[in-house]
Structure formats: C-alpha cells, structure tokens
Amino acid sequence: MTHRSVPARAIPAEGGRRFMPTAQAAGYLGLSPRTLEKLRVRGGGPAYAKFGRRVVYAVDDLDHWAAERRRDSTSAPERPGRR
C-alpha cells in the first residue's frame, strides 16, 4: 500500500473566506515560513489573524500583499510610503 500525500488546503471560514497556516501561506507566496515570521515581528508582511495561539493568513490578504509588490522592472521605484 502506498501513501499519497494530500495537499494541504485552505481552511474555510464563514462567508467563504479561506485561511492558511504560516507554512502553507509561505509556500503559496514562494517564501520561507521564517520570512513570514520575521515580517510579523518587523511589520510589512501580509495581514494575518490569530485564532488562539494559531496564526493564519487569509488567501485574499496574501493575494493583495503580493499584488502590491508587482514591478515592471528591477529599476522601477517603490511606491511612496513603502519600506
């Protein structure tokens, strides 16, 4: 018998909003979980929620955060008010 790994899925919540734990959110963004942890401490990362001790990210917030970082070229200036 072979074991197939089932891909982790976003956690559905009321209103259809889906949440992901840190490791899955990091993979979704192509970052390491440690990078998201550092961004939570320093600021500048995607919005997150805490359910008790559990940190989760809404898929919509991850998409929004990633879209804000789009650039047309490496020489494109960052938008004002950004770090």
pLDDT tens figures, 34-45? 999 999 999 999
Rounded Cα–Cα distance for residues 66 and 59 (Å): 11
pLDDT in tens, 27-36: 999 999 999 9
pTM above 0.85, yes or no: no
Domain ranges of the chain: 11-68
Give the separation between CA 12 and CA 9, rounded to whole angstroms.
9
Q: What is the share, in percent, of the chain residues with pLDDT greater than 70?
A: 73
CB neighbours of residue 25 within 10 Å: 25
- The CATH code that applies to domain 11-68 is 1.10.10
Q: pLDDT confidence of 8, banded at 50, 70, 90?
A: low
